[in-house]
């Protein structure tokens, strides 16, 4: 038997009588959403609203910088997981899209992503191609050739799809996951928005249905509790908007579908990582009978949400939670492996991306709140230019959805614009469709912009018209009667007259909730949207003036 010295024995006996201090078990969740294949740091800056309410114009983003920021944020945190809330791929810049978003999946895997919900854009190329993103391989499900640079290994993270259902009721991907941190178990539910069937192309979601978000999540809570989950985190590709697009520690002015979902969630779901709206916010809201932490990190890897959950080590109950959105500064030291990967694919896409297609007199930025902008107006003008032609539709008006204009257009010093730039602005590969609509039908279309409005204002997608057309609206009026003026070339639109109107094929089929656009008659195909933009810019264009949707 080992005998301790008398002094040490007394010291240990004294310590045994002192109450032991217990500290919460902290779990860190790092979250992103709506990355959309933005491997490179985009041009321009965005206004990021700090805790003091002041905006700072910041150049942010880039896959290597994102990975580097995640690494710094994880430092010193033993219990850390990185998650995402959908739309990691789809609607991507050329360096990713040209290679079927394989480099984006690889980059996010290298960055340490572990769990991700699906979003509507994950279905852009169909469920078979999405399954390939998870599993890897070189099977061809699209017109583009997979594995152009190397064999695709598949995602190093797990997609979750609780409400994406096959005909037999099974989910396309697992609905839930559990991660353990010491004695604490955290349950995760991942899903897309129930309107994915409307927002995605019919071919992309063939054979799938998308169930109600709150009902699906609530039904899974008992399962997760039975598996020992001490709290439940929801990764959901649905969100909200506010007057300030990129808030680091606030939800000021927040409005949108995610709030109604919160009102109907089981109280066990205390942390909600959201997306889809491309806006950033972080706050605790008391909704649906429980205080809930609600976050979103904006888009394109501009920010990362740093979430901290504290658990009582004895009861394993959640005792505190907080979150902040951290900008991914362009000057951040990037992860070398991700930088190497990105550089390889950017170089491979360069001959296509760098081809000069035209000129623009100055920068045409997009609206970060998806209102009227020079970029969106430029798209509408280009579409009208082509669709005016006799064999393309004889259009008099063109509209584009503000949400479909993904970036601004920033020409080089000599005014030149490259194919890669217009591809990044319009990455969907849509065709133009021109139809006859009466003035009354046109008003019904424009009213659908404001189909979901509350005290904070519009929550729908705005339609931006081509030059010569303008409309005005009043949100104080009843829903369905908010359009107060429609004019073409200075003359009021006649409800009984017929007008040739051009939109992209996504809108023409009722996408973005514009079911009124699926009406109309005598449809004519006008070719691809990118071809229209190239035909317009090759002539050299000024930056469009504002004022088409409001004074």
CA distances from 546 to 57, 80, 551 (A): 22, 46, 9
Say how many Å lie between the first and final Cα of the chain, rounded.
Answer: 91
CA distances from 338 to 70, 151, 399 (A): 12, 17, 38
What is d(CA 293, CA 310) in angstroms, rounded to the nearest whole number? 13
The encoded tokens of residue 488 equal 């073409």
Instruction: Find out whether 111 and 82 touch, Cβ atoms under 8 Å.
Output: yes
Q: What is the DSSP letter of 530?
A: H
Predicted local confidence at residue 14, as pLDDT = 43
Select from 3.60.21.10, 1.10.1040.10, 3.40.50.10070, 3.40.50.300 the CATH code of 32-336. 3.60.21.10
Predicted local confidence at residue 5, as pLDDT = 38
Instruction: Find out whether 265 and 221 touch, Cβ atoms under 8 Å.
Output: no
Cα dihedral value 5, 8, 13, 19, nearest 10: -170
CB hemisphere CA count around 472 (13 angstroms) = 8
Q: Report mean pLDDT in 10-residue bins for the chain, 551 residues.
A: 36 42 90 98 93 97 98 98 98 95 98 98 95 98 95 98 98 98 98 90 90 98 98 97 94 95 98 96 97 98 98 97 98 97 98 97 92 97 98 97 94 97 93 97 95 49 95 93 97 98 91 88 95 97 96 62
Instruction: Find out whether 31 and 114 touch, Cβ atoms under 8 Å.
Output: no
Paired with 282 in beta bridges are 295
Predicted local confidence at residue 460, as pLDDT = 58
pLDDT 10s digits, 165-186? 999 999 999 999 999 999 999 9
Kindly state the helix (H) or strand (E) to which residue 26 belongs, with its residue range: strand 25-32
Predicted local confidence at residue 435, as pLDDT = 97
Do the domains at 32-336 and 356-537 have one common CATH topology?
A: no
Residue 335: name the closest of 37, 64, 62, 40 by CA: 64
Predicted local confidence at residue 506, as pLDDT = 87
Predicted local confidence at residue 22, as pLDDT = 75
What is d(CA 147, CA 100) in angstroms, rounded to the nearest whole number? 9
- Pairing of the two strands 231-237 and 356-359: unpaired
List the domain boundaries for the chain. Answer: 32-336, 356-537
Select from 3.90.780.10, 3.50.50.60, 3.40.50.1100, 1.10.3470.10 the CATH code of 356-537. 3.90.780.10
């Amino acid at each position: 038997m080992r005998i301790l010295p008398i002094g040490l024995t007394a010291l240990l006996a004294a310590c045994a009588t002192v109450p032991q201090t217990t500290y919460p078990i902290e779990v860190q969740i790092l979250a992103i959403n709506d990355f959309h294949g933005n491997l490179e740091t985009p041009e321009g800056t965005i206004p990021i609203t700090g805790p003091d309410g002041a905006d700072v114009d910041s150049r942010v983003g880039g896959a290597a910088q994102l990975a580097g920021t995640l690494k710094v944020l994880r430092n010193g945190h033993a219990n850390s997981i990185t998650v995402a809330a959908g739309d990691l791929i789809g609607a991507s810049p050329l360096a990713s899209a040209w290679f079927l978003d394989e480099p984006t999946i690889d980059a996010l895997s290298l960055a340490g992503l572990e769990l991700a919900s699906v979003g509507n854009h994950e279905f852009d190329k169909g469920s078979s191609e999405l399954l390939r993103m998870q599993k890897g391989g070189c099977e061809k499900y699209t017109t583009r050739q997979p594995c152009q640079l190397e064999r695709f290994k598949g995602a190093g993270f797990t997609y979750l799809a609780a409400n994406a259902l096959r005909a037999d009721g099974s989910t396309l991907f697992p609905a839930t996951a559990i991660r353990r941190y010491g004695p604490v178990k955290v349950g995760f539910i991942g899903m897309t928005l129930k309107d994915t069937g409307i927002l995605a192309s019919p071919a992309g979601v063939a054979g799938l249905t998308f169930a109600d978000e709150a009902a699906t999540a609530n039904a899974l809570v008992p399962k997760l509790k039975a598996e020992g989950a001490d709290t439940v985190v929801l990764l959901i590709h649905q969100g909200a908007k506010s007057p300030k697009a990129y808030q680091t520690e606030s939800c000021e002015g927040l409005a949108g579908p995610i709030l109604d979902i919160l009102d109907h969630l089981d109280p066990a779901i205390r942390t909600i990582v959201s997306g889809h709206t491309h806006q950033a916010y972080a706050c605790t809201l008391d909704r649906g009978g429980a205080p809930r932490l609600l976050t979103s990190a904006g888009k394109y890897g501009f920010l990362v949400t740093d979430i901290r959950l504290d658990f009582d080590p004895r009861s394993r109950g959640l005792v505190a939670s907080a979150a902040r959105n951290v900008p991914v500064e362009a000057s951040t030291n990037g992860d070398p492996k991700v930088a190497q990967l990105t550089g390889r694919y950017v170089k491979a896409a360069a001959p296509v991306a760098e081809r000069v297609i035209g000129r623009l007199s100055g920068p045409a930025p997009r609206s970060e709140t998806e209102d009227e902008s020079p970029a969106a107006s430029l798209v509408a003008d280009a579409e009208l230019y082509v669709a005016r032609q006799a064999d393309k539709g004889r259009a008099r008006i063109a509209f584009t959805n503000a949400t479909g204009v993904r970036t601004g257009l920033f020409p080089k010093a000599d005014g030149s614009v490259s194919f890669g730039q217009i591809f990044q602005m319009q990455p969907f590969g849509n065709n133009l469709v021109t139809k006859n609509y009466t003035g009354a039908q046109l008003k019904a279309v424009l009213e659908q912009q404001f189909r979901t409005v509350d005290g904070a204002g519009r929550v729908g997608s705005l339609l931006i018209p081509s030059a010569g057309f303008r409309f005005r609206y009043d949100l104080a009026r009843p829903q369905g009667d908010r359009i107060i003026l429609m004019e073409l070339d200075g003359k009021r639109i006649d409800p009984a007259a017929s007008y040739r109107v051009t939109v992209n094929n996504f809108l023409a089929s009722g996408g973005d909730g514009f079911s009124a656009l699926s009406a109309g008659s005598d449809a004519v195909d006008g070719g691809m949207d990118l071809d229209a933009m190239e035909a317009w810019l090759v002539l050299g264009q000024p930056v469009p003036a504002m004022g088409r949707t409001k004074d």
